[in-house]
Structure 1
Amino acid sequence: MRKHVKGNVSWVGYIDWELEKFHGDDYSIKNGSSQNAYLIEEEKTVLIDTVWVPHSDEFVENLEREIDLKKIDFIVANHGECDHSGSLVTLMEKIPETPIFCTANAVKSLEGQFGKRGWNFRVVKTKDTLEIGNGKSLVFVEMPMLHWPDSMATFLTGDNILFSNDAFGQHYAVEELFDGKADPCLLWKEAMKYYANILTPFSPMVTKKLAEIGGFNLPIEMIAPSHGAIWAEAPARIVEKYAAWADAYQEDQVTVAYDTMWEGTAKLAHAIAQELHAQSPETVVKVFNISKADKNEVMTEVFKSRAIAVGSPTVSNSYLSSMAGWLEFLKQLKFRNKKAAAFGCHGWSGEGVKLLQQKLKEAGFTVVEENVRSLWNPGEADYAEIPGLARALLS
């Protein structure tokens, strides 16, 4: 079922209330999501993006009920990832000659995923335009690494809608489509989670791209991403948030992340949190056991933090395997301008804390020298080290 967006633009995507994970199992979904596709019907009819394979048959069938598929003059593939392109195979079997406008890298992506099917690709670059009648045109803007090399956005003149694909999106189901109808707390929470876990590694590119788009002086009145709510009420708000989030973002928060075997490291984690709060009552302090907490939620809190404390017992001359995976994810996200400290218990060799410090440095954190390295279970001497660690993180 189509839903009206603005002018002669309709939403023809899929609201996925049951979705619980994304990117394999790498991203958690708590409030549903959507794959947004859009239909523009001017003198020329344009389909912008599709939905992914599990819903491809339903997508094409719904589209056929709304419009004669042969009336689709152009398809715009803003991004080749399968959650946006998954219905192309089914759709192109019915309209095989329809031109597909996309970047050169998107051709590689689409042919890499679906094979060379002889599709009619029209490669576009930044500022290329496509006239669609009634005085309106599409303006293409390459958006490499927001968040794949092939990504682009498409601007519709006249209606002044930026179809931004993955940029400015959220994994959040909003049946009513628009930001003004969404729960604002959930909307901004999911927007930040999306940025923190997907776009943070590319923040320097986000900053440059926002400046470039700003230089085009496009009169953007609406931002229509490929996931989540459409930004219709003062869309500049999400652009401003992206600018802030891309600029080594932090709030007055410290996050303590740990795993434990026999609760010794857990005791240290909670003692560190209490000391942080005691020294700086206005600072938000949060504690997570990473083997129990949702990793994407934890990384969103790390994104907000100015410092973190990371703890694990020493196991097999290293740290717990749960911590190893978490640290690798932390490194991938390339956080900037944040401090870190390490702590943990040990029984024999005791090198876990030193290895944690090394990994935190590799992840781009400024690691303080102060640490807590407890033999067996924490004792008075170990707890006496905590105030110095807290001061170092807060300074």
Structure 2
Amino acid sequence: MNDSKPRDVQILPIATNTKVLRARSQSRLRFEIEYALERGTTSNCYIIAADKTALFDPPGETFTTIYLEALQQTVNLKKIDYVILGHFSPNRVATLKALLEVAPQITFVCSLPGAANLRAAFPDNSLNILVMRGKETLDLGQGHVLKFLPIPSPRWPEGLCTYDQKTQILYTDKLFGVHICGDEVFDDNWESFKEDQRYYYNCLMAPHAVHVEAALEKISDLQVRMYAVGHGPLVRSSLMALTQAYADWSLAQKDREVTVALLYASAYGNTATLAQAIALGVTKGGAAVKSVNCEFATPEEIQSALEQADGFLIGSPTIGGHAPTPINTALGIVLKVGDNNKLAGVFGSYGWSGEALDMIECKLRDAGYRFGVETLKVKFKPDDVTLKYCEEVGTDFAQTLKKAKKVRLPQQAATPVEQAVGRIVGSVCIITAKHGEVSTAMLGSWVSQATFNPPGLTVAIAKERAIESLMYPGGKFALNILPEGNHLEYMKHFRKNFKPGEDRFQNFTTTEAENGCIVITDALAYVECSVEQRMECGDHWVVYATVENGKLLKPDEVTAINHRKTGTHY
């Protein structure tokens, strides 16, 4: 991903004595599944300048220079009293060091795990730290009394929200954010990025649904008029709607009939990134994820997650040829629990060797565990193709679990309603999508023209489809319309379950459309499309796209039609 696009810092007042500094980037900052929509991002920092001055969540090192320049225009750095950290990230250390050089008097305000991370990051520096456990307050003067709410989760054990009683602003850090970049400071046009908010939740919050519910409970008694989020527009117009959506999405995760325990530890963040991509895939596959960061979880928490799950995956780095102690502890608990009827999987990142993964796999096999996926080894930092592969691994693992758990029912005749719905026919098409180096395809027969001007169509896509994550607004795809006759070969091929990362186009002759997507040369016609909107409809997404280009390849052929006997399946 090209990361050379300009960055800037937007400074605006948002309440009494309160300003936001929005460090903006139009491009992705790094390979992370949460940035996959490539809408840019903002890293939001806040300042309350009352009798005392507090700074919230300075951004990462990619913004350090321009951020400090903007900050100096806003406040006297030598008069900053507090830096409040909603979470700790290693990429913030460069900015924190630069701040300390000009303002050594700063006192850091954070949770207990956050304090431990700070001391580890600054071993030679005697830092001033205030630890907030949930009952303390901080008075900045002029009515700005801050209340602190620890909101730990496996991904952010040090998570901390801050509430200003004067302005009724809740500084939520990671909660309620979205990765988009624009000039809009507030969410007054939030309808335009609802799907981005949902994607952000699915990537970052869904694996911690129980912790999200706990956070929502903690903030429910507060009189909040605005969420000062860590990323994206500040939330005021959609405050009630988004809060309810988080509650609904979290409840839906908990109520799923199949649960996967995702146990991991990460030395440099790479294995955690793999875990995040796998968790997204598991969620897409219709299973709930119980994410457990073994570096911070107690043995009791690990055992409880395993006992409640239908299957589990263990992710580990390799350090000095071995798995880190937290993973050895988790593996010991797995073997102690000893329920080898549960499906297992192993994944991880490594630098020079991957012995830890081989060791974990070997011990699980010796204990009689069956594997739902092949052991996944990734060298160094994962790229986009690897992250897409991880997503497919998670989806495949979830679907395997669901099939294993489902009780076979006697075949029943279709009802009159099901028979009637089944008579709705559609043309047989192969939908191909490509983004960067990631390319995939699916069989589609739920396709319909939707508009004349502009020419547009709708496509219904099941939520667990690999192609779904490429079909967000701005995405490109090609619709290959098959002719009657040879379409059966394509239907048989594209109806099968593909392995993660498997080439969908093997043994077929293809070419490339102008938008970069694959065109099947046997097609009757094809159209190149750009996704404009998508809507959640039960177990499918309905995507509306405009047609930008196309070609009739076989004018004398007839379009293949998919005839069904029932409306309960394709």
Q: Contact between 1:153 and 1:164, CA under 8 Å: does it hold in 2?
A: yes
Rounded Cα–Cα distance in structure 1 between residues aligned with 2:431 and 2:11: 52
SS at match of 2:156: coil
Q: What are the Cα deviations for residues 163-222 of structure 1, in whole angstroms up to 9, with x where unaligned? A: 000000000113231111xx43332121111001111011122112212321xx211111
Compared CA separation, residues 70 and 186, structure 1 to 2 (3 A): same
Residue 65 of structure 1 corresponds to 73
Give the one of 201, 204, 218 matched to 1:198: 204
Give 1:25 shift.
5.9
Q: What are the Cα deviations for residues 21-69 of structure 1, in whole angstroms up to 9, with x where unaligned? A: 5454663143221000000011111101101101101111221122211
Compared CA separation, residues 221 and 46, structure 1 to 2 (3 A): same
Rounded Cα–Cα distance in structure 2 between residues aligned with 1:62 and 1:145: 32
Further displaced range: 51-60 or 81-90: 81-90
Q: Whose helix proportion is higher, 1 or 2?
A: 1
SS at match of 1:134: coil
Given the two structures, how large is their TM-score scaled by the length of structure 1?
0.65
Alignment of structure 1 residues 70-109 onto 2, 5 Å:
70-82=78-90, 86-109=94-117
Residue 25 of structure 2 corresponds to 16
Given the two structures, how large is their TM-score scaled by the length of structure 2?
0.46
Q: Contact between 2:149 and 2:218, CA under 8 Å: does it hold in 1?
A: no
Residue 229 of structure 1 corresponds to 233
Alignment of structure 1 residues 328-339 onto 2, 5 Å:
none
Rounded Cα–Cα distance in structure 2 between residues aligned with 1:3 and 1:146: 33
Residue 319 of structure 1 corresponds to 499
> Higher RCO, 1 or 2 (CA under 8 Å, sep at least 6)?
1
Q: What are the Cα deviations for residues 316-361 of structure 1, in whole angstroms up to 9, with x where unaligned? A: xx934359xxxxxxxxxxxxxxxxxxxxxxxxxxxxxxxxxxxxxx
Matched, 1:27 2:35: yes
Q: Contact between 1:258 and 1:266, CA under 8 Å: does it hold in 2?
A: no
Q: What are the Cα deviations for residues 235-289 of structure 1, in whole angstroms up to 9, with x where unaligned? A: 2222111111111169xxx999999xxxx99899526757xxxxxxxx9831699
Matched, 1:37 2:214: no
- Percent of counterpart pairs with the same letter? 21
Rounded Cα–Cα distance in structure 2 between residues aligned with 1:295 and 1:89: 39
Compared CA separation, residues 258 and 68, structure 1 to 2 (3 A): closer
Larger Rg: 2
Rounded Cα–Cα distance in structure 1 between residues aligned with 2:158 and 2:502: 33
Alignment of structure 1 residues 1-395 onto 2, 5 Å:
2-17=11-26, 19-20=27-28, 22=30, 24=32, 27-82=35-90, 86-113=94-121, 115=123, 117-145=125-153, 147-180=155-188, 183-214=189-220, 217-233=221-237, 235-248=239-252, 269-270=442-443, 285-286=460-461, 294=469, 319-321=499-501, 391=568
Structure 2, unaligned runs of 5 or more: 1-9, 256-283, 287-390, 394-428, 433-440, 448-457, 474-493, 504-561
Compared CA separation, residues 271 and 174, structure 1 to 2 (3 A): closer
Rounded Cα–Cα distance in structure 2 between residues aligned with 1:94 and 1:9: 22
Rounded Cα–Cα distance in structure 1 between residues aligned with 2:463 and 2:144: 51
SS at match of 1:13: strand
Q: Contact between 2:392 and 2:500, CA under 8 Å: does it hold in 1?
A: no
Rounded Cα–Cα distance in structure 2 between residues aligned with 1:211 and 1:103: 19
Q: Whose strand proportion is higher, 1 or 2?
A: 2
Compared CA separation, residues 269 and 56, structure 1 to 2 (3 A): closer
Residue 335 of structure 1 corresponds to none
Structure 1, unaligned runs of 5 or more: 275-282, 299-310, 324-382
1:60 counterpart letter in structure 2: L
Rounded Cα–Cα distance in structure 1 between residues aligned with 2:116 and 2:471: 30
Further displaced range: 218-227 or 264-273: 264-273
2:158 counterpart letter in structure 1: D
Rounded Cα–Cα distance in structure 2 between residues aligned with 1:159 and 1:258: 45
Q: Contact between 2:190 and 2:238, CA under 8 Å: does it hold in 1?
A: no
SS at match of 1:36: strand
Q: Contact between 2:187 and 2:233, CA under 8 Å: does it hold in 1?
A: yes
Compared CA separation, residues 387 and 240, structure 1 to 2 (3 A): same
Q: Contact between 2:179 and 2:231, CA under 8 Å: does it hold in 1?
A: yes
What is the RMSD of the two structures over their aligned residues, measured on CA atoms? Answer: 3.9
Rounded Cα–Cα distance in structure 1 between residues aligned with 2:194 and 2:92: 23
